[in-house]
Structure 1
Amino acid sequence: MAGITNVAFRQLCREQETARTGQDAAGLYVCEMVTARALVERHPDTLHMTTFAPDESPRSLQLYTVDPETTARAVRMIVEEDLADHVDMNFGCPVPKVTRKGGGAALPYKRELFTRIVRAAVQNAGALPVTVKMRVGIDAEHHTFLDAGRIAAAEGVSAVALHARTAAQRYSGTADWSQIARLKEHVTDIPVLGNGDVFDAADAVAMMARTGCDGVVVGRGCLGRPWLFAELAAALGGTPAPVPPTLGEVAVVLRRHAELLAAHHGPDKGLRDLRKHMAWYLRGFPIGSELRQGFALVSTLDDLDALLARLDADVPFPADAEGPRGRQGSPGTVALPEGWLDDPQDATVPHGADVLTSGG
């Protein structure tokens, strides 16, 4: 997730999984999306975004791409410079400024262009596994996921992941898990992963039971809950669930997050970046509006320590903190380039779609 899954948050999630399960982290933690063009142009911000912790393994890098040639160059660079151990290709972004140019969730509609991009990645990846993440389609009238899944499998990707919403739905409503089941029936020779509305371990278990998918991909569910992956590991591994953290334990996690962000971004930017996480961490806890406002404006580690000291460490994790997190919004018409739907076999590279997100 852009702006969330940087090296600091990934390291925190891995630490929480290990601490709460007593075992090495088993989850695959993917870096925030970077553009293939920005990577090959060595944009400083993009190179910073591809930072991995010294002990992070496997190192998973997510690419946004619209051009087969740039894709090939980016993946060759990843291999030759040993930048990552896994490449995940994101064709699920529903943001209007991206789809308006033909990128993200709009691109799989162009079957031939999608084929060439995936082929370029796989052929240049060598031994590195390549996976594809996508959505159901553009809208209810233009589903693309079955063709995209078939193409990706035929071109040699290691797995496909489906966010069970269309681009038009954005993050609204309820994910249609039946579409994951359809993809699993349609693509039988590689793993199919499900994504959408996995907010706790029970959701993951239910998704796999209902759809037959081989694993789950978590996005918004881990916002303010980096220990979620420990709960997932326990539920899917058949071991006892970790006890939910008290407010005092959440405070310790939040403080660790601050330290990691300060190390990655520097103290000033790191603490500013932490602000957006505060409401997620403290959701449902009875701490009062004054403290909440203070956390939302925190600017130094000392300020953060002073605020954390005012929390009642014994308050148990609140039941109403469960459920959907992060953006939801409303469905809407998908912005597309003029004539985009005219010819699904048109392999013309969309103009400017990778410039909009250059630098990550």
Structure 2
Amino acid sequence: MVGVPPSLQIGQYAVEPAVVLAPMAGITDVAFRQLCREYGSPTSLYVCEMITARALVERDAKTMEMITFAPTEHPRSLQLYSVDPRNMGEAVRMVASEGLADHIDMNFGCPVPKVTRKGGGAALPYKRRLFGEVVSAAVRAAEPAGIPVTVKFRVGIDDEHTTYLDAGRIAEGEGAKAVALHARTAAQRYSGRADWTRIARLKEAVTTIPVLGNGDIFSAADALRMVSETGCDGVVVGRGCLGRPWLFAELQAAFTGAPLPAGPDLGEVGRILRRHAELLVDFIGEDKGVRDLRKHMAWYLRGFPVGSQLRRGFAMVSTLAELDDLIGKLDHDAPYPAEEAEAPRGRQGSPGRVALPEGWLDDPDDPAVPAGAEVMHSGG
């Protein structure tokens, strides 16, 4: 089929179809990954929240909880963040020696000020030598265990400081098994439109490993169009699946040539909500699990005819019994509001100046690790 990529090969893993759930802070925990996998292909990739290398090495309690994987998850995909080659290498060796994951993705795309201010995330690829050393440290540490390493980054810091072509070539040269481009700059954050022409240019520059595209995939049609327009080898889906884990069923159908399943009515969305709650409760208990589900409610109910009082009830739910009562009050026959549900969702915000360490832009070939760069907080 035109616009449909073949299966994606990441090291020894065939990713079929070529679809990846992007790591999202506070979202892609073990419960949400399981839910997306239940709708999608078991051989696609579903990546956990961003984990800080130093926090992992220090065995921070919250970080160790965040790298929980379900028994059915395979391959287990873990995203690591670091600014220091030594810490990155140590963290990957720990993952390899203790069998904590089967695939490692590296985060060089986070635009959050507390990350870029320390030279991390989307700021780091500007420092070409340091970026290469961090990627190399991960690849070398992962090689003995046969763990493939992939690299995700943005277009650059801003329109005047684009880094993605150099980053792609460097990652390829250091032995990464694939690269993924979020086609926005750090200055854009999540605002405006992703520039898919950058994905096409990266695909032309990086020729020996797969190139994945990320940004503004809110429907199966978007995914097919990205592949057709850019020639990318697969897609990375983030905000488009917020409150819509069934998007992975649509992507699987689109990429295999099967008919697209119909969108769920409100009754089915209620059942999906209940399933999400069950998975969270299994993971962190009823009190924390149901409360954690609150952040997903507006996404699940978007576009459906749900009164303000009922919406407030979902936003404040505390127990499974309360959740069941609220689900019972929904109009279960309300049809899927496709146009509104498939519009952009999740955080967008506005563009802004990128916070950087003092003098960060002076010398792109300076390999020095910024002072105090390694944070202990995982999750972005």
Alignment TM-score, normalising by the size of structure 2: 0.92
The one of 247, 271, 291 aligned to 1:272: 291
The one of 263, 281, 290 aligned to 2:300: 281
Counterpart contact for 1:44–1:359, Cα < 8 Å: no
Work out the CA distance in 2 between the residues paired with 1:259 and 1:350. Answer: 43
2:348 is the alignment partner of 1:348: no
Aligned sequence identity (%): 73
Residue in 2 aligned with 1:131?
150
Counterpart contact for 2:150–2:176, Cα < 8 Å: yes
Q: Which amino acid aligns with 1:98?
A: V
Work out the CA distance in 1 between the residues paired with 2:374 and 2:278. Answer: 33
The one of 151, 154, 167 aligned to 2:170: 151
Deviation digits for residues 30-62 of structure 1, max 9, x if unmatched? 001110000010001001000000111110000
Find the residue that maps to 1:112 and give its secondary structure: helix
Residue in 1 aligned with 2:12?
none
Residue in 2 aligned with 1:321?
341
Residue in 2 aligned with 1:338?
358
Residue in 2 aligned with 1:213?
232
Work out the CA distance in 1 between the residues paired with 2:70 and 2:376. Answer: 28
2:69 is the alignment partner of 1:69: no
Segments of 4+ moved more than 3 angstroms: none
2:249 is the alignment partner of 1:226: no
Residue in 2 aligned with 1:165?
184
Pick which of 56-65 and 313-322 moved more: 313-322
Work out the CA distance in 1 between the residues paired with 2:372 and 2:92. Answer: 20
Counterpart contact for 2:55–2:376, Cα < 8 Å: no
Cα displacement (A) at 1:213:
0.3
Work out the CA distance in 2 between the residues paired with 1:68 and 1:354. Answer: 11
Structure 2 unaligned blocks of 5 or more? 1-23
Counterpart contact for 2:52–2:376, Cα < 8 Å: no
Q: Which amino acid aligns with 2:371?
A: H
2:311 is the alignment partner of 1:292: yes
Cα displacement (A) at 1:352:
2.3
Cα displacement (A) at 1:359:
7.3
Superposition pairs for residues 220-259 of structure 1, below 5 Å? 220-259=239-278
Work out the CA distance in 2 between the residues paired with 1:359 and 1:179. Answer: 27
The one of 11, 16, 27 aligned to 1:4: 27
Work out the CA distance in 1 between the residues paired with 2:373 and 2:130. Answer: 14
Cα displacement (A) at 1:351:
2.3
Work out the CA distance in 2 between the residues paired with 1:197 and 1:293. Answer: 29
Deviation digits for residues 295-334 of structure 1, max 9, x if unmatched? 0000100000000000111111112211101000000011
Cα displacement (A) at 1:15:
1.0
Cα displacement (A) at 1:196:
0.3
Find the residue that maps to 1:277 and give its secondary structure: helix
Deviation digits for residues 165-190 of structure 1, max 9, x if unmatched? 00000000000000000000000110
Cα displacement (A) at 1:27:
1.7
Find the residue that maps to 2:55 and give its secondary structure: helix
Cα RMSD, aligned residues only: 1.0
Work out the CA distance in 1 between the residues paired with 2:377 and 2:127. Answer: 20
Residue in 2 aligned with 1:28?
45
Residue in 1 aligned with 2:5?
none
Structure 1 unaligned blocks of 5 or more? 18-23
